Amino acid sequence: MFKAIFTNSFGILFSRILGLVRDLMTASFLGANIYTDIFFIAFKLPNLFRRIFAEGAFTQVFIPAFTRSRHKAVFSIHILLVFFLVIMLFTLMVNLFPYAASKAIAVGFDAQTISLAAPFVAINFFYLPLIFLVTFFSTFLQYKQHFATTAYATALLNISLIGALLLSEGMHESDVVYYLSYGVVVGGLLQLAVHVAAIYRLGLMPLFPGGIKYYRRKITTLTQESRRFKQQFFPAVWGDSTAQFSAFLDTWLASFLATGAISYLYYANRIFQLPLALFAIAASIALFPKVARHLKHHDEAKAMVFMRKAFWFLLFVLSFSTLGGYILSYEITWLLFERGAFHAEDTLNTTIVLQMYMIGLLPFGLSKLFALWLYAQQRQGEAAKIATYTLGSNIILSLALIAPLQAGGLALASSLSGFIGFVMTVRAFGSRRFFDIITTKYLIAYAFSMLLFILLLLVLKELLHGYL
């Protein structure tokens, strides 16, 4: 289990390091102004779908359905055709009506800003069909217990964007955003290319011509399987994507705030997402096939062994990350971003948002783990209900906190709703199972290590204070 987790973690870490380099360069070149807001808005919706597809929902429904299917090749081609055609139609609609799409993403922007953003939204949206194909192929690699390609391929998007920034250095801000937008599409093409190569290398390529060959003959036998997949997929998307929808809601509401608010949320969320992806998402991707397999064979005891190990691993690393990110939030933001067009005031504003996001790291991360149990048991409807309550509480809290706390209030609302989602997920997982996991000798070690770590962080903060 841990080998797969660390494979994912190192791949994600490599990608996120490049992502931080990209963000450093973006902050230095563009700072936090209308053009950064426009690019982050343009990339927001396709990136939202990337996280939904690539970080859980599609894989968690497709792998069990693929495993149970009697005609795997035909089933795979059918799902590919249905989803890809719908996504391409959606992409073409956005490109035909980019102004309306931009207005839907950023209602608070004025007409002139929407007009500036529209062409960038259209370009960025071509990333969506590409990343769906990447996710589709990655499910077969996961089925074969091959995680490295998908984990490291995300770095190609960041490499492409870094190249776009280097090529556009010294140009007008609007030209930089054009280069970044085309860089997103190039990054998607590179990710697709390495996944196709991995599929070929693992001998999975004959699956697809075989599915096409027998598609007409066997498609009528897949009606029930296809219907069941679609019934499970949409609740799974809703249930597994609360954090992504919350971040999208933050951006949508931030468009009503002063210029730069969207950028502060973006930069802070990028730091927040690092430990979430590095540990919680990496663990959930590695753990899901094993838990699903044991529960399928009614071996709950073995599934619980994996859950227990993953819980304590995540509890420690996410708690360390939460404390470090909160206490050293100013120092982290200053070190990463304050240069070029990113000024001291931007650092202070981003710091506040980062602190509010870090409060929710632990509940969001642990919710990912316990939600696996629901998906492995094909209880997507329950997960969707939890997501609905969580998102509803986030909307109410965001509307209550945006006026007094501005962008920081939106981040805090997201974190507080994460606690609500965590409590509800644990109840669905089973309170008895949860207390069986936490009632061990590790609890005392956990409390002691957290106290010691807080003291070390306070000492480090005091030492750094003299240099900042």
Summarize pLDDT for 99-157 with one digit per residue, the tens: 888 887 776 777 888 888 889 889 998 998 998 899 889 888 877 877 778 878 888 99
Q: State which of 214, 240, 266 marks the end of a domain.
A: 240
Do 182 and 290 have their domain in common?
Answer: no
Lowest mean pLDDT among 65-74, 194-203, 231-240, 399-408: 231-240
Q: How far, in Å, CA of 183 to CA of 203, rounded?
A: 31
- Write the CB contacts of 384 (distance below 8 Å, at least 6 apart in sequence): 234, 235, 236, 238, 239
Percentage of residues of the chain with pLDDT beyond 70: 91
> CB under 8 Å to 275, separation ≥6 — which residues?
317, 318, 321, 325, 361, 365
Residues 290 and 392 in one domain: yes
**Residue 226 in contact with residue 19, Cβ under 8 Å?**
no
Total domains, the chain: 2
70/106 same-domain check: yes
Per DSSP, the residues of 293-318 read HHHHTT-HHHHHHHHHHHHHHHHHHH
- pLDDT-based confidence at residue 263 (cuts at 50, 70, 90): confident
Determine the longest span between alpha carbons in the chain, in angstroms.
74
- 128 and 227 share a domain? yes
Q: Is residue 232 situated within a structural domain? A: yes
Same domain (yes/no): 321, 438? yes
Domain limit, last residue, from 199, 218, 240: 240
Residues 211 and 270 reside in one and the same domain: no
Asked if residue 95 belongs to a domain, the reply is yes
Same domain, 190 and 308: no
Domain limits for position 259: 242-468
Listed residues 240, 270, 304: the one ending a domain: 240
The whole-angstrom separation of Cα 319 and Cα 94 is 41
- Report the distance separating Cα 146 and Cα 286, nearest Å: 10
User: Looking at the structure, do residues 204 and 252 belong to the same domain, yes or no?
Assistant: no
Q: 272, 364 in Cβ contact below 8 A?
A: no
